[in-house]
Each structure stands twice: as C-alpha cells, then as structure tokens.
C-alpha cells in the first residue's frame, strides 16, 4: 500500500526518505501531511525549544572528584561522579 518516498527538507534542502513504515505510523496517528524536515533538522528544532538544564558541581562521595549533576546537591545525600555511579550500578 505504501512505498518509500524521497522528500526534500525545507530547512537544509537535503533529500530524505519517508519510509513505508513511517508512512504507516503517520496514518495510524491520523497525520495527513508528510514531514517537511529531515530527522536531523526535526531533532535540532525539537532540542532548540527545550530550555538548557542548569548543572551543579559537587564532590563525588566515593572518589572525591568533581561531579556535574542536574540537581542542586544536598548535604544529607551522597553525590557520585558518572564513573563511580556506573561502578555502583554494576555491583
């Protein structure tokens, strides 16, 4: 019923494929218009609308190094750097 279509991105002008599966998905959601932007431009547009997260610096409770976290650390809870956090998850 559906066939892959080659479309031009209105943002960057590059060609992209509107696949058979994507067309089925659009139809199942009731969308009537074809996408006008390639995946990279859609993702860039989506991310541009998101506010930048404020990051906080804390001392890692395990190794004492610096940890960048997206929340304001409290004194009563330990904070771990990404490496120490990954090691803890493995255990």
pLDDT digits (tens, 9 = 90+) for 50-74: 888 899 999 999 999 999 999 999 8
E-strand spans in 23-86? Answer: 56-59, 66-69
Strand partners, 67: 58
Q: Give buried/exposed letters for 70-80 (b at 16+ CB in 10 A, else e).
A: eeeeeeeeebb
Please indicate whether residue 53 or residue 80 has the higher confidence score (pLDDT).
Answer: 80
Q: Could you give the percent of the chain with pLDDT greater than 70?
A: 100
- Span 35-49, pLDDT tens digits: 999 999 999 999 888
pLDDT at residue 22 above 90? yes
Q: What is the pLDDT of residue 52?
A: 82
Phi, psi of 27 (to 5 degrees): -65, -40
Look at the block and give the residue holding tokens 């940890």: 67
For residue 15, the Cα-to-chain-centroid distance in whole angstroms is 23
Nearest CA among 43, 44, 35, 31 for reference residue 16: 35
């Amino acid at each position: 019923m559906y066939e892959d279509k080659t479309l031009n991105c209105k943002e960057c002008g590059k060609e992209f494929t509107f696949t058979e599966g994507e067309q089925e998905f659009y139809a199942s959601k009731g969308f009537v218009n074809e996408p006008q932007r390639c995946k990279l431009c859609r993702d860039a547009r989506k991310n541009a609308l998101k506010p930048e997260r404020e990051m906080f610096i804390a001392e890692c409770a395990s190794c004492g190094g610096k940890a960048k976290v997206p929340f304001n650390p409290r004194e009563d809870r330990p904070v771990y750097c990404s490496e120490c956090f990954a090691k803890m998850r493995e255990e």
